[in-house]
Amino acid sequence: MLLINNNENGGGFEKVEVVKRYFYRIFTVLSKDVREQLMSLNLPKDELKEVKKELAFLSEDKQKEFLTELAKDNK
């Protein structure tokens, strides 16, 4: 994908649809408590990375619910 500067095509890279979608997302930081719960699951590194990606778009309450369910399934 080629990014354009503000002088070309009237507006710059923020007019590119993929960039607009990225900035409309709401990101959530994982709290210390959530990170500790993740580490206690003993997931493989690649699976842990996928779970972190999913958690990044959830509120902290939803993150904890997700991890509780994942822990039940992981036993």
Query: How confident is the model over 12-56, as pLDDT tens digits?
Result: 666 678 877 777 766 667 888 998 999 898 889 999 999 998 888
Higher-confidence residue of 47 and 6: namely 47
34 lies in some domain? yes
Instruction: Please give the pLDDT value at position 45.
Output: 92
- Please name the residue ranges forming H helices in 1-75: 17-24, 32-40, 45-55, 60-74
Instruction: Please give the pLDDT value at position 6.
Output: 47
63 lies in some domain? yes
Domain range holding 45?
28-74
7 lies in some domain? no
54 lies in some domain? yes
Model confidence band, residue 73 (pLDDT cutoffs 50, 70, 90):
confident
19 lies in some domain? no
Q: Is the pTM of this model over 0.75?
A: no
3 lies in some domain? no
Instruction: Please give the pLDDT value at position 57.
Output: 82
12 lies in some domain? no
Overall number of domains in the chain: 1
